[in-house]
Amino acid sequence: MAHENVAIIGAGLSGLTLALSLHQQNISSTVYEVRSAPIDIGGAITVSPNALQIIDKLGIYENVLSEGYPCEAFHFRFQDDKPFDTYEIGSVSKYGYPGLRVYRKVLIKELLAKCAEKNIQIIFGKKFNRILSESEAGVTWEFEDGTVGQAASLVGADGIHSLVRSYVHGDIEPKFMNVMAIGATVPTSKVALPKDYALPVTIMSKTHGAYILAPNFPDGSELVIVKQRRIEEHDREGWKHLLADKEGSVEFLRQGTEDFPEIVRQAVSAITPESVSIWPFYQVPKMDKWTSKGGRVSMLGDAAHAIPPSSGQGANQVFEDAYTYALIRGQCDGDSLDSVLPKWQRGRQERIDRLITLAQQMNARRLPESGQNELTEVIGTEDFNMEWLFKPDLEKMIQTWLAS
């Protein structure tokens, strides 16, 4: 089978995972990234076993594990600190891997190091602009600096505001979900955690939303405190102002803490404005295609489907997208992409739809507007058996998709 070079737009988690996964299928690629240096935003994320399985297959698990904080469950408490629920995020005994709190920049660093080891070319400071042409021979595109690129196929791993998407799907705007997360980090030593107090924890109030407290670093020496805020969409200037207003974010995190346990008050009083980070939640409307008609231009990761953050799966699904795309590419040649890749999308979309349902249930737990009654309904009634999510047999899964 003839494998041809793939151009990847974006050196985020999806682009780098894709380059390494394609390399495992003996498919060469070149990654183009608009930033002049590796991306370093967003703080720590929780990586679950489905992604760690892929990280392991790519040969970087041990390194990533050594820089993260392993944990197996998210704990839920009411505002009086009474525990009421747990939500599994990993289990070595059940799924082969724990959940792992790890900085995104660590993941990027390890993926980049492995790319370097495999001689995968990554070109920084190169902004993709638009596709010029697509034919059976391949794809031609233009960079913002006016230069032109050519490859047998191209994958947009260029994030939520993807430019590749406009070629594949026509204009489609990411939708702001009227929620953002505001977080800040504090040294764990500043918080007098009761003995055996299980972390990460979400502490819920009827009227003041919820605080998430989650440890970072292998020794748990850093604690991130996060709260979601309902907010209207802003224009560009408005967002700029809001993101720059770190003092305002600290103030928001400090509001209403009188209704929460002492550890929340201790944590928020130790916050410094420099440690604040903000994550506005956007979602890309569901799209009927992730691949162009000719089959030679595709998109994946946040470009194709921003997953609601309350599922904790945005980054995790990015790993699945990239790895399964490469498995599929390993089994077909350039001429069959237009018929094979829609099967990949259907299979991926089914998992994402199931996740979105899960995320809606998680949101109902975390935001005050959902009300205590709704919260009570959720507790104990939802089947949170996570095997389907955390232990997918990806190789078998793509065989099923290909046979469909």
Interface residue with ligand FAD, options 14, 188, 298, 310 (CB under 6 A): 14
Stretch of 38-46, 115-123, 132-140, 288-296 contacting ligand FAD, by CB under 6 A: 38-46
Nearer to ligand FAD, 150 or 266 (CB): 150
Q: Which two tokens stand for residue 175?
A: 């939708």
Shortest spacing between CB 235 and ligand FAD, in angstroms:
19
Nearer to ligand FAD, 200 or 261 (CB): 200
Total residues at interface with ligand FAD (CB under 6 A):
34
CA distance 213 to 48: 18
Quick check: 401 binds ligand FAD (CB under 6 A)? no
Quick check: 97 binds ligand FAD (CB under 6 A)? no
Binding mask 106-145 for ligand FAD (x = CB under 6 A): ---------------------xx-----------------
Nearer to ligand FAD, 209 or 301 (CB): 301
Quick check: 222 binds ligand FAD (CB under 6 A)? no
Contact in structure between 146 and 138 (CB atoms under 8 Å): no
CA distance 95 to 53: 9
Quick check: 88 binds ligand FAD (CB under 6 A)? no
* Phi, psi of 49, rounded to the nearest 5 degrees: -55, -35
Quick check: 301 binds ligand FAD (CB under 6 A)? yes
Contacts of 384 (CB under 8 A, 6+ apart): 87, 88
Burial 188-227 (b: 16+ CB within 10 A, else e): beebebeeebebbbbbbbeebbbbbbbbbbeeeebbbbbb
Shortest spacing between CB 334 and ligand FAD, in angstroms:
23
- Amino acid identity of 202? T
Quick check: 103 binds ligand FAD (CB under 6 A)? no
Residue 69 is given by DSSP the state E
Quick check: 234 binds ligand FAD (CB under 6 A)? no
Cis check: omega of the bond before 200, within 30 degrees of 0: yes
Q: Give the per-residue SS3 of 314-364.
A: HHHHHHHHHHHHHHHHHCCCHHHHHHHHHHHHHHHHHHHHHHHHHHHHHHH
Quick check: 199 binds ligand FAD (CB under 6 A)? no
Nearer to ligand FAD, 79 or 153 (CB): 153
CA distance 62 to 85: 31
Nearer to ligand FAD, 46 or 79 (CB): 46
| Residues at the interface with ligand FAD (CB under 6 A) | 9-15, 32-35, 39, 41-42, 45-46, 104, 127-128, 157-159, 163, 277, 279, 301-303, 312-316, 318
